[in-house]
Structure 1
Amino acid sequence: MNQPVPFINPVIEQRADPWIYKHSDGYYYFTGSVPEYDRIEVRRARTIQGLNTAEPVAVWHKYETGPLSANIWAPEIHFIHDKWYIYFAAARTTETKEGLFDHRMFVLENDSANPLEGEWVEKGQIKTRWESFALDATTFQHNGVLYYVWAQKDPDIVGNSNLYISEMSNPWTLRGEQVMISTPEYDWEVIGFKVNEGAAVLKRNGRIFISYSASATDHNYCMGLLTADENADLLDPKSWAKSPVPIFCTNEETGQFGPGHNSFTVAPDGSDVLVYHARNYKEITGDPLYDPNRHTRVQPLKWNEDGTPDFGIPVPDGAPVNK
């Protein structure tokens, strides 16, 4: 039996909000926020570790002016109905930093077999109930329904962003009810900012898990978890149980600070892999959003006997890690 190939972190330096997707063609596809926040890159490799040296392809660049001209954040690449889609957030250029939290959500489409080729077509803004700060969209399919999960500011709720879910009529249009499933309420969710963002979905063991990130993007950044039964009404907020404690956070002993904005992928043997970013130092000069050293990291995601995920602790840099 082949031994699993160990991961060595960081897998990709200076790539925050990492998204790794293993496609049916055997390739791992990667995208994430670049430090310049000015473009969307995609790369692919036959192995997760191989993404480190894979050539990135810039598939889209920001505009000079308008709503797609600044702070291109957190792209995710999805394969839906035989086409590729990239969901991302963008803001407009302003003379002051007030535009920093002016994001809206957008989507690109590509019908090529290989998303590093062909044309990426802008499908426009994902319209929600409010015209307000919105970002970090993800999608998943369940029982034949396409769902959209995202973070947004409700003008009537104190705080920066809550998590919402909605059905979609197609990969760029919401339909029906838009429901809040989490709002920052615990002490660990409101340090610096009142934030729930960066949702990622994992369906396992008869349940649907949504991990998310909370608090400011410095060493206080951490992850929480929502859980619903797979047979529940996912548009009913009561279907979602929220962990009262963070499930993944800074570990000074391993030298990992502010782990979060995760995604999930699978190893070649089908076992689950946790993907996230973190820094390897605590003290940051200036605004953490302009510190480029949130690196992409991976490690095996383990499972408890009751069928719930065990995120463990963020592993140290440079040391091989497998099961």
Structure 2
Amino acid sequence: MSRRRWRTLAAACAALLGVVYALVPVSIANAVGETSFRNPLVANGADPWLQYHNGNYYLAYTTWNNQLLMKKSPTLAGLSTAAAVNIWSDTEADRCCSHWAPEFHRLTGPNGTRWYYMYTSGRDGTLDFQHLHVLESAGDDPMGPYLYRGSPMPTTWNIDGSYLQLNGQLYLMWSEWESGDQSLWIAQMSNPWTITGSKVLISRPSLSWEIQGGRTEEGPVALQRNGKTYIVYSASSCNTPDYKLGMLTLTGSNPLSPASWTKSPNPVFQAANGVYGPGHNGFFTSPDGTENWIVYHGNASSTDGCGSTRSTRAQKFTWNADDTPNFGSPVSTSTNLAVPSGEQAATTTAVRGAAYRLVNRNSALCAAVAGSSTADGGNVSQQACSGAAAEWVLDSTADGYYRLINRGSNKALDVADCGTADGTNVRQWAWLNSNCQQWQVTSTSDGWFRLQSRSSDKMLDVNGCGTSTGTNIQLWTSLNNNCQQWRLQPVGTVAIASMQSGKVVDVANCATANGSNVQQWGYLGTACQKWTFTHTDSGYYRIVPTHATSSCLVVAGASTADGANVEQNACGGTNSQWRVEPLADGSVRLVARHSGRALDLAGCGLPNGTNVQQWSWLDNICQRFHLMPV
């Protein structure tokens, strides 16, 4: 029997089975992810800050250069392999260099709920001008894009900023020199980047364990429980193995009064179990909100200092009966730690990121949740390409695969019962950190792709190569036919952010004329930094700026040469058409149809105004981009 005849017979059987799916109860999916991990999470990860938000862990740490980075992963352990994405870079002389101690907080600011990314930086070649800076996200995504908002204290040396929210008021905490002591300070804020009123010194190094190698208190971070407020800070020099954590307790009513703060007489977290100099910490909660965790850096040797040997580590902590934290001791790198509670549990949440439609090559219909169901087990079939039920967020699992989260239901594309047989049904289910919910996106030809199940290596397939609305979608062995090929249609308006610089693709001066240059620029929220994708044929798209909708992103003169300029121009030829190709690290490359060359940052530049061009694929971050909904 020929493979096509066998395929047709099997498809008919699968169609009959589709009736059975409607008659029997939906079976329960099971989680199969890893249940433990070991520290460290990142080898060179000093001054870490980690948060869990809408289905992902987000991690930032000191870079020492002029770029700010972020990692994200649906699992804590996945942060080890997640790609480091530069979400910001700066070449301004007063803040270009030595980026330290990032923190990102979700606050209600003047523009609504936003992420505020605060960091320390200064001038090239010296650390004498380090001071705080604040970025604001354009929306509610920790990955950005971000706008620069300002420096709370631009003319003095100040580092390690963090926020305290208390009784409806926002405060800034930081570390600053005073009479030979590096001490802790606080001030009231009128918004997340502006202080108001007096700066108040609330604590200086005074105890023997705070002055090892230098008189130092730095890295303050707030911790609150049952109406009690603490500031946990790092003490002694980070160049020593005696770097450790101390704690202040708000025992008075006014956080701006030094008398309201009481210092614990002993350190609350210090070297143990082969971990030296543990400090500069942050706090986060487990995915289900039932556990509190500390993230910090530590060294593996007593002779390691304040450099690149400091690694990111995380562990759970508990509370004493009097509501004071019990951090215990740093755990050794040979200790297996249970993953945060809820990481393996069913999770339905609006994962942040760009959404796509999966359009079948054979039928031109989209993979969608039937009936716009929001229930676990909602069937996936091919439908008209409209509505949130036909939109999927492609979210990297940090190890070469993607999970596809439906925009209408916030549930994941799932292989029924983790089946491996041809004809196994595909449905939606709450995210379970399961291989049966992970997919590899593989290019075939032109702008077409296969989606391959991680659990079975079989392909996302339209039953019987049907072309009618409602035809079921399933798994099938690769047949290299059009029924198993899909194009990925970006949905809505996006910014195109460089993985190298964090800056976005921009039409110079927001000009509307054809021939206007295209460059990178820090995100400003202007229409000339926002783009839509319009399909032409064979999975290629015109990329249209929202301020000049009759023009497109074009390779000038239809050149096929490396270094050919990219500009805004008429949408006529194949030099105005691009393939959007998701890569294993969660980024995309944009490939010009006429030349096969990739969109590229000239010279891997970081400054505003760096030219955008085409270049042969070099497999570097200067040719990788992230589509960011704006």
Residues 103 and 119, structure 2, Cα contact 8 Å, conserved in 1: yes
Q: In 2, Cα distance between the equivalents of 1:245 and 1:89?
A: 28
Measure the CA separation in 2 of the matches of 1:100 and 1:117: 28
Which residue of structure 1 lines up, in the alignment, with residue 42 of structure 2?
A: 12
Change (3 A) 1:6 1:208: farther
CA distance in 1, matches of 2:211, 2:156: 20
Q: State the Cα distance separating 1:117 from its structure 2 match.
A: 4.1
User: Residue type matched to 2:71 in 1?
Assistant: R
How far off its partner does 1:126 sit?
1.2
Which ranges of structure 2 fall in alignment gaps of 5 or more residues? 1-30, 341-630
**Aligned pair partner of 1:281 in 301, 304, 316:** 301
Counterpart of 2:288, as a letter, is: D
Structure 1 residue 224 displacement after superposition: 0.3
Question: CA shift at 1:305, angstroms?
Answer: 1.7
Per-residue CA shift, 1:110-135, capped at 9, x if unaligned? Answer: 122323243x221121127xx43210
2:153 matched residue in structure 1: 127
CA distance in 1 between counterparts of 2:215 and 2:129 reads 16
| Residue of structure 1 equivalent to 2:362 | none
Shift of the alpha carbon at 1:235? 1.3
Q: What is the match of residue 192 of structure 1? A: 213
Kindly, what percent of the aligned residue pairs are identical?
35
- 1:44-66: per-residue Cα shift (whole Å, max 9, x none)? 22232222222221011242x62
Equivalent position of 1:116 in the other structure: 143
| Match among 258, 265, 275 for residue 237 of structure 1 | 258
Counterpart of 1:59 in structure 2 is: 87
Q: How does 1:291-306 map to 2 (within 5 A)?
A: 291-306=307-322
**Residues 158 and 72 of structure 1, relative CA distance in 2, 3 Å threshold:** same
1:22 corresponds to which of 45, 52, 56: 52
Measured in 1, the distance between the counterparts of 2:40 and 2:256 equals: 37
Cα distance in 2, alignment partners of residues 69 and 20 from structure 1: 24
> For each residue in 1:56-84, what CA deviation from the matched residue of structure 2 results, as whole angstroms up to 9, or x when unmatched?
21011242x62112211011111112111
Equivalent runs, 1:1-323 vs 2, <5 Å: 5-23=35-53, 25-34=54-63, 36-63=64-91, 66-81=93-108, 82-94=113-125, 99-118=126-145, 120-127=146-153, 131-154=155-178, 157-159=179-181, 161-217=182-238, 218-229=240-251, 232-251=253-272, 254-270=273-289, 271-284=291-304, 288-289=305-306, 291-322=307-338
8 Å CA contact retained: 1:13, 1:296: yes
Q: Tell me the distance in 2 between the aligned counterparts of 1:248 and 1:22.
A: 23
Judge conservation of contact 1:134–1:152 (CA < 8 Å) in 2: yes
> Is the Cα–Cα contact under 8 Å of residues 263 and 275 in structure 1 kept in the other structure?
yes
Q: Which one has the bigger helix percentage?
A: 2
Q: Higher relative CO (CA 8 A, sep ≥ 6), structure 1 or 2?
A: 1
Matched-pair contact (CA < 8 Å) for 1:132–1:153: no
Helix, strand or coil: the match of 1:188? helix
CA contact (8 A) 1:62 1:72 kept: no
Contact 1:77 1:87 in 2 (8 A): yes
For residue 89 of structure 1, what is the amino acid of its counterpart?
T
| Letter aligned with residue 280 of structure 1 | A
Distance 2:207 2:284 in 1: 28
Tell me how far 1:101 sits from its aligned partner. Answer: 3.8
What are the superposed Cα offsets for residues 269-319 of structure 1, whole Å, 9 maximum, x if unpaired?
3210011000111113xxx33x31111101111111221111111000032
In the alignment, residue 143 of structure 1 is paired with which amino acid? N
Query: Deviation of residue 38 (structure 1)?
Result: 3.0
Q: Indicate conservation of the 8 Å contact 1:198/1:212, yes or no.
A: yes
Q: Measure how far apart 1:219 and its partner are.
A: 0.7
The Cα of 1:246 is off from its aligned counterpart by 1.1
Distance 1:232 1:101, change over 3 A: same
C-alpha RMSD of the superposition: 2.1
Task: Identify unmatched segments of 5+ residues in structure 1.
Answer: none
Which string of whole-angstrom CA distances, capped at 9 and with x for unpartnered residues, describes residues 82-114 of structure 1? 1111111112113xxxx2243111111112232
Equivalent position SS for 1:268: coil
- State the AA in 2 paired with 1:139: Y
Normalization by structure 1: what TM-score? 0.88
Between the aligned partners of 1:7 and 1:306, the Cα distance in structure 2 is 31
Aligned length: 302
